[in-house]
Amino acid sequence: MALASSALIAHTTDLELVIRHVLAGLGQGVHAGRERGAGVEFSEYRAYAPGDEWRRVDWKLLARADRYYVREAERDSHVAVWLVLDASASMAEPSRSIGGLDKLGYARTLLACIAAIAQRQGDAFGLAVLASGRVQFLPAARGPRQLQRVLARLKQVTAAGHLPDADVLRGGLRLTASPSLIFAASDFLDWPSPLSDALVRLRHMRHDVRAACLHTGAEQEGSFDSGPAYRDPEREGAVFRFGADLRETYLRNREAHFGAVSAALRASDVLQVSARIEQAPGDVLRQWLRQGGRR
């Protein structure tokens, strides 16, 4: 299942196809649903758009107007879902076992699935892409058209440059003061970093912050080819060689680095999932969507 799912990601640019495949049978929302029951009041009608649920169509109005309309409802509590994508150069690192798959493509798939779940649940959701020292920001909105905007933006992303600095990131993550769900996908090779500081700050503001830390199998195992030299894509002029004599040191340093990442996230009550990009994305999503600890 893992190889089949990851191979699908690697060999299609159709995010909607991937979403349908990954979410089949997942049956989970990003939080407890609020669409039915007390506190939900009718707000307005709007024209039906592809992706709307048929149960929300007003069939009586269809009989009168000969057009499909959807009933919108106001909720007594609003939760915005924010998708944060690290698209710095290191996210272009490819899988060594699945051709065409890299960390950015896997992260893009995870966040696209979260967007689809939020849209299905009726929540507002927005996107922040961090690349080349800048933040590309798509404000939060609801509905199938917003999902198409998010998917289109995700399809256009390429991994480049470095993360924005602290001032750029602080101004770029323009979140509301009301509690939000924040899903951030990164390899967290830079730690501490402006991104880590921003996530901790957002958690201290009482947002529910969740981080997906992505790796390739080769990165976790240290199973790189010892022949070629490797250039650091985010540091000009930095070139490294990887051989059997360096593997033990690499693995020890890597374990210490990500141990510090996990400890810092736990200390700030940020829910973290760690995943190889060769894993089935549905399994990672189940972990990412589970309820956190202290909130």
Taking residues 250-265, what's their average pLDDT?
A: 95
**Spatial CA neighbour of 107 closest among 191, 186, 19, 163:** 186
Q: Would the pLDDT of 168 be above 50?
A: yes
User: Which pLDDT tens digit goes with each residue over 194-249?
Assistant: 999 999 999 998 899 999 999 999 999 988 776 555 566 666 655 566 666 788 88
Give the residue extent of every domain in the chain: 2-33+77-289, 41-74
User: With contact defined as beta carbons under 8 Å apart, do 250 and 224 qualify?
Assistant: no
User: Which pLDDT tens digit goes with each residue over 81-140?
Assistant: 999 999 999 999 999 999 999 999 999 999 999 999 999 888 899 999 999 999 999 999
**Spatial CA neighbour of 215 closest among 278, 130, 131:** 278
The CATH class for the domain spanning 2-33+77-289 reads alpha beta
Between CA 101 and CA 278 the distance in angstroms is: 8
Between CA 208 and CA 210 the distance in angstroms is: 7
Which pLDDT score, from 0 to 100, does residue 226 have? 64
Indicate left, alpha or beta for 66 from its phi (over 0: left) and psi (-120 to 50: alpha). left
The one-letter code for the residue type at 106 is: Y
Helix (H) or strand (E) holding 254: helix 244-267
- 72 forms beta bridges with 44
Between CA 205 and CA 239 the distance in angstroms is: 40
Which pLDDT score, from 0 to 100, does residue 32 have? 56
Res. 75 pLDDT band, cuts 50 70 90:
very low
User: Which pLDDT tens digit goes with each residue over 10-29?
Assistant: 888 788 888 888 887 676 66
What percent of the chain has pLDDT above 70?
Answer: 77
Which pLDDT score, from 0 to 100, does residue 76 have? 38
**How far is CA 96 from its chain centroid?**
22
Taking residues 154-166, what's their average pLDDT?
A: 95
**66 contact partners, CB below 8 Å, separation of at least 6:** none
Which pLDDT score, from 0 to 100, does residue 78 have? 62
Between CA 35 and CA 195 the distance in angstroms is: 33
Q: Would the pLDDT of 3 be above 60?
A: no
Q: Considering only 32-41, 94-103, 199-208, 268-277, which range has the smallest mean pLDDT?
A: 32-41
